[in-house]
Structure 1
Amino acid sequence: MILPSWLTNSHFVILGLQLIFVIIHSGGAALRPWAEKNIGHRLYRFLFALASLPLAAMLIIYFFNHRYDGVQLWQVQAWPGMVYFVWFLSAVSFFFLYPATFNLLEIAAITKPQVHLYTTGIIRITRHPQMVGQIIWCIAHTLWLGTSFTVVTSVGLVLHHIFGVWHGDCRLTWRYGSTFEKIKQNTSIIPFAAILDGRQTIKWQEFIRPAYIGVAMFVLFLWWSHPLLIQTTSRFELFLTIILVNII
């Protein structure tokens, strides 16, 4: 079977990297109860981050450097206001993607990392904010770039997070039983569904938290540093390629 010329190897590489990340990240999450019992909470967090973060960085770098691979399916970058619309969607996505910023000390293992059953704030909108944030991010970047590589990347990311919804609910059900089942009954996966059918009510005062200021500052930093970030990732992949060639 002869593949079309536009279907470059990068389409398959990004899917392969995503699959490896799913195995390491979701597998590590599944092992958490056993690992925390046998090696401790802090060491588990360190090893989990050591395995996940470098691969996540590699995925981001590879995506930046190959985002225009394949065929150009549409081109909307010149449309009036499109750049602001895409940045707006991206900013909204980060407010969903990083609810864990509420516990930065736990992320860094300065305090004991724990599993939390959140029931307020963004959880009233959706029980799985990271999945929603990832979908919004994918919509924004796929719309902006319009390439087959970006479509393939986005499909892989969305499928990963849909799996994460099922996997996360299973782990929390196993760990907390009826307590988590009650949370499931009062929340929804689809954004605003539980609010629309009367199971939830938004309480805006719950969103007045320092963490959201941090997310807003991070979005502004990305806006400012985005061109520099793209240049840096390009040089980094070239650097890694040179090292691998010399080693081989």
Structure 2
Amino acid sequence: MRDDWLTSSHFVMFGLLIGFAIAHSGLAALRPYAEKRIGARPYRVIFALVSLPLATLLIVYFIQHRYDGLRLWNVQGVPGVEPLVWALSAISFLFLYPATFNLLEIAAIQKPQVHLYETGIIRITRHPQMVGQVIWCIAHTLWLGTTFMLVTSAGLILHHLFGVWHGDRRLTQRYGEAFAAVKARTSVIPFLAILDGRQTLEFKEFLRPAYVGVAIFVLLFWFAHPLFIQATGNLG
């Protein structure tokens, strides 16, 4: 076994993830106070100006160093693994993006608001972003098999697990008993509330443009993925 596998990139990536988590969750915690003082739209712009560059930096650094460290396994040539990774990645995007987001609010075209949802994918899990991130990490950890990927996955999952607690706490402070009722009828673990009868699955609620948009995005990303990897790898 190599004795030089623990490269500095492991620590840099984990540090970048901690920095992003502090900025992202910290700004989310400050939202109620900041919006009262400067308004919802300006605060959304500030949030984006902080979060998007940090997220871009994380993505670029991850792609450039994804094979760093020790290669624990290599299943990239095993039949069926690549379609499985793509299928899991597509599912992860369905959880990550269209679940609770109004794109016009994200872009501050409409006034950003805090919503109390209990429909669509929230019936499956109250924290779809966390579930989507875990699925994405499983898929990419399987595909890459490196210690760097394990560090990346650990950081991302820990951040989103914290987000479960942090998000529930903020909604409890804002909505009180109304959120407690939603919390009682939903679950963090996917499908648990449906299986134990607290919730039902309404397929018609998934007939939304957002899901069509994500499906198109996944298809386009599948074709553009090699070019995206190449372009990112050429960055300094």
Quick one: distance in 1 between partners of 2:8 and 2:42?
37
**Aligned position for 1:202:** 201
Q: Distance in 2 between matches of 1:9 and 1:101?
A: 37
- Structure 1 position 24, deviation (Å): 0.4
Give the whole-Å Cα distance in 2 for the aligned partners of 1:108 and 1:100. 16
Counterpart CA distance in 2 for 1:221 and 1:8 is 34
- SS of the residue aligned with 1:31? helix
Aligned equivalent of 2:114: 115
Cα separation, 1, equivalents of 2:232 and 2:100: 25
The alignment partner of 2:72 has SS state of coil
Residues 100, 117 of structure 2: 8 Å contact kept:
no
Q: CA deviation at 1:101?
A: 6.9
Contact 2:85 2:143 in 1 (8 A): yes
Matches within 5 A, 1:152-191: 152-191=151-190
User: What is the Cα deviation at residue 221 of structure 1?
Assistant: 1.2
Given that 1:75 and 1:146 are in contact with CA atoms closer than 8 Å, whether structure 2 keeps it comes out as yes
In the TM superposition, structure 1's runs of 4+ consecutive aligned residues that sit over 4 Å from their partners are: none
Q: Distance in 2 between matches of 1:25 and 1:83?
A: 32
Aligned counterpart, 2:132: 133
Matched residue, 2:89: 90
Q: Distance in 2 between matches of 1:51 and 1:87?
A: 30
Structure 1 residue identity aligned to 2:81:
M
2:192 is matched with which residue?
Answer: 193
Residues 113-137 of structure 1: per-residue CA shift (max 9 Å, x gap) = 0011110000000000000000000
1:63 paired to 2:62: yes
Secondary structure of the residue aligned to 2:102 is: helix
- 5+ residue gaps, structure 1, are 239-248
Per the TM alignment, residue 100 of structure 1 is displaced from its structure 2 partner at its CA by 5.3
* Aligned counterpart, 1:245: none
State the partner residue of 2:219.
Answer: 220
Q: Report if aligned partners of 1:8, 1:69 keep a CA contact under 8 Å in 2.
A: yes
| Deviation for aligned residue 1:232 | 1.1
Matches within 5 A, 1:228-247: 228-236=227-235, 238=236
2-structure distance, mates of 1:51, 1:117: 25
In structure 2, relative to structure 1, the CA distance for the partners of 1:201 and 1:92 (3 Å cut) is same
Separation of aligned partners in 1, 2:18 and 2:3: 23
**In the alignment, is residue 17 of structure 1 matched against residue 16 of structure 2?**
yes
Q: CA deviation at 1:4?
A: 4.0
Q: CA-to-partner distance for each residue in 1:61-111, whole Å, 9 max, x for gaps?
A: 100010000000001000111111100000000000013575111111011
Quick one: structure 1 residues 102 and 160, their matched pair in 2 at CA, closer, same or farther if it must change by over 3 Å? closer
In structure 2, the residue corresponding to 1:99 is in which secondary structure?
coil
What code does the residue aligned with 2:118 have? T
The structural deviation recorded for 1:40 is: 0.4
Q: TM-score, normalised by structure 2?
A: 0.98
Q: Check the 8 A contact 2:74/2:145 in 1, yes or no.
A: yes
C-alpha contact 1:187 1:194 (8 A) present in aligned 2: yes
Post-superposition Cα deviations, 1:10-48, rounded to whole Å, max 9, x if no partner, equal: 000000000000110000000000011000000000000
- Counterparts in 2 of 1:230 and 1:9: CA distance versus 1, 3 Å: same
Distance 1:67 1:101 in 2: 30
Partner of 1:244: none
Contact 1:99–1:129, Cα closer than 8 Å, also in 2? no
Structure 2: tracts of 5 or more residues without a match:
none
